[in-house]
Amino acid sequence: GAVVSQHPSWVICKSGTSVKIECRSLDFQATTMFWYRQFPKQSLMLMATSNEGSKATYEQGVEKDKFLINHASLTLSTLTVTSAHPEDSSFYICSARGQGRNTEAFFGQGTRLTVV
């Protein structure tokens, strides 16, 4: 099946610094990529949706200036957590889908971010 690679799998950063997470679709063109946040023992919370070459669409309550999303190509999307704070510590997961309403989504392995 299709593969989505997310990097890094874990990162520890100091409060106030920025962290970039990459999401790559390795063997298909990802028309749409999604970024999720997951708190311990909870479901996925969709943060934003991005289509290649256009601005991301953020869900209500998600700060677009804090969580910068770039989808520069059909195989790469990045999420940058700017000026990270301890409350941004979480598990971030990306997902990619090709075209078509009933296509499945493929997920990255997730990134565990810890802000100290």
Partner 1 sequence: GNSVTQMEGPVTLSEEAFLTINCTYTATGYPSLFWYVQYPGEGLQLLLKATKADDKGSNKGFEATYRKETTSFHLEKGSVQVSDSAVYFCALPGGGYNKLIFGAGTRLAVHP
Binding site for partner 1 (CB under 8 A): 1, 4, 6, 31-32, 34, 41-44, 46, 49, 51, 57, 93, 95, 97, 99-110, 112
**88 or 95: whose CB is closer to partner 1?**
95
Residues contacting 32, CB < 8 A, separation 6+: 49, 50, 51, 96, 97
In contact, 44 and 93? CB cutoff 8 Å: yes
| End-to-end Cα spacing for the chain | 37
Closer Cβ to partner 1, 31 or 82, answer by number: 31
The smaller minimum CB distance to partner 1, of residues 82 and 107, is found at: 107
Q: Least distance in Å: CB of 50 to partner 1? A: 9
Smallest gap from Cβ 3 to partner 1, in A, equals: 11
Rounded Cα distance between 93 and 24, Å, is 12
